[in-house]
Amino acid sequence: MQRSINIASTPSIETSRIAQSIGTALDRFIKNNQNQFAYASGELSQLLRDIALASKVVNREVNKAGLIDLMGAVGSQNMAGDEQQKLDVLANIRFTRALAKGGEVCALVSEESESFVDLNNEGKYVIAIDPLDGSSNIDVNVSIGTIFSIYRRKSPVSTPIREEDILQLGSDQVAAGYVLYGSSTMLVYTTGHGVNGFTYEPTLGEYFLSHPHMQMPAEGKIYSINEGSYNSFAEPVKRYVQHCKDQNYTARYIGSLVADFHRNMLKGGIYIYPATAKDKFGKLRLMYECNALAYIAEQAGGMASDGEQRILDIKPGSLHQRTAFYVGSKNMVETAIAYIK
Ligand code: FBP
């Protein structure tokens, strides 16, 4: 005979590990915080849900890439001349499809698309996305990520998309975030009211709040820069790297921006991709790599600069514009800028 458990009468179970609360689901969190959004009418909430859904599909494919021939290059290059990996292209398809279906986004800027994609709908939002960041690490099972920035369109809905809708200042973002496909998969985002992190629970297929109100320590002991390019660094950058060594900081460089940023966000640290002799304007792209992480860093008490100015104040002149990037713990970025200037 099946014995029914009346929870009220067995408090020990309710407080025991087996009944441990699984936390706040992303959907619930978005709903509970929707009134924080300017123009809170549910569209931005739905847009965030669409991104979360697409990231679950990409996560599934990343996890089994080696089993379903998703490793390696597709044999074509994106407009930056980077060899496109199969997962780059697949992630771009998954996010573009989910956002097109959702109908909240009228235009999409992607690392994998030369020009912006007009989604021909009544959407009020514009998104800039790096569908899969850290391409050099895809085939070697090292953490990779997705980075996204969300803006409101400036021109009236259902009129042709204009340059002003696309080339917006980072400070005009209404939301930004990243997904980290690492030892666990996390979605971290801000809507301008602090930063929250959610961990994916694959058996339930849902993200749960695991890192509320994330704060980046003002100081850290980790520096992340590709010292393999040391010889092409400008002298001031070399002096700052020497400063980090003199301070006995630890060097950590995964080579996946999202993973390096996330670690520094939790532990304190600085990530630098400077302008070099090879990449005069740096390597990273302002619109779909740097703006989102700069917004999150600032919302978590950190800082982001190109060495001269605040990343969020840089007026983009083109979709795939590059910038030098100094991001992380406030005191460390300030010190780096003092060396650079
Ligand atoms: P993509 O892989 O999306 O092009 O991103 C650029 C990136 O891979 C960052 O994730 C990473 O921090 C950096 O480039 C690594 O560059 P490098 O190999 O020159 O150090």
Residue nearest to atom 20 of ligand 1 (CA): 226
13 C-alpha to ligand 1 centroid (Å): 48
Whether 78 has a pLDDT exceeding 60, the answer reads yes
Question: Which protein residue's CA is at the shortest distance from atom 3 of ligand 1?
Answer: 133
Helix 235-246 with 330-340: angle, nearest 10 deg: 140
pLDDT at residue 35, as a whole number: 77
Higher pLDDT, 138 or 94: 94
CA of 134 to the centre of ligand 1 (A): 5
Read off the pLDDT band of 33 (50, 70, 90): confident
Strands, E assignment, 103-228: 105-110, 117-118, 125-133, 144-152, 175-181, 185-190, 195-201, 206-211, 222-224
- Cα of 136 from ligand 1 centre, angstroms: 7
Whether 260 is a known active-site residue: answer no
Query: Among the listed ranges 22-26, 126-130, 161-165, 176-180, which one has the minimum average pLDDT value?
Result: 22-26
267-302 pLDDT, tens digit per residue, is 999 999 999 988 999 999 999 999 999 999 999 999
Catalytic member of 130, 206, 260, 298: 130
283 within ligand 1 shell (Cβ under 6 A): yes
Among residues 27, 61, 82, 83, the one annotated as catalytic is: 82
Percent of the chain exceeding pLDDT 90 equals: 79
Q: Is 82 a catalytic residue?
A: yes
Clarify whether 112 is annotated catalytic: yes
Q: Is 111 a catalytic residue?
A: yes
pLDDT of residue 1: 45
Pocket test for ligand 1, best of 283, 285, 320 (most atoms within 8 A of CB): 283
Q: Among residues 43, 133, 260, 298, which one is catalytic?
A: 133
Verify whether ligand 1 is closer than 6 Å to residue 226 (CB atom): yes
Interstrand relation of 144-152 and 175-181 (parallel, antiparallel or unpaired): antiparallel
User: Across the strands, what pairs with 151?
Assistant: 126
State pLDDT tens for residues 173-228.
999 999 999 999 999 999 999 999 999 999 999 999 999 999 999 999 999 999 99
Is 334 in the active site? Answer: no
Task: Write down the pLDDT at residue 5.
Answer: 52
| Interatomic CA distance for residues 229 and 217, integer angstroms | 28
* Contact 82 CB / ligand 1 (< 6 Å): yes
- Which member of 26, 48, 119, 132 is catalytic? 132
Average pLDDT estimate for 62-81: 80
Ligand 1, residue 133: give the atom nearest the CA: 3
Q: How far is the CA of 340 from the centre of ligand 1 (A)?
A: 22
Is 289 noted as a catalytic residue in this protein?
A: yes
Burial class (CB in 10 A: 0-12, 13-18, 19+), 152: middle
- Look up residue 98 and give its two tokens: 């989910």
Asked whether the beta carbons of 264 and 142 are under 8 A apart, the reply is no
> pLDDT tens for residues 216-249?
999 999 999 999 999 999 999 999 999 999 999 9
**Distance of alpha carbon 102 from alpha carbon 84, whole angstroms:** 26
pLDDT over threshold 90, residue 34: no
Across the range 325-334, mean pLDDT stands at 98
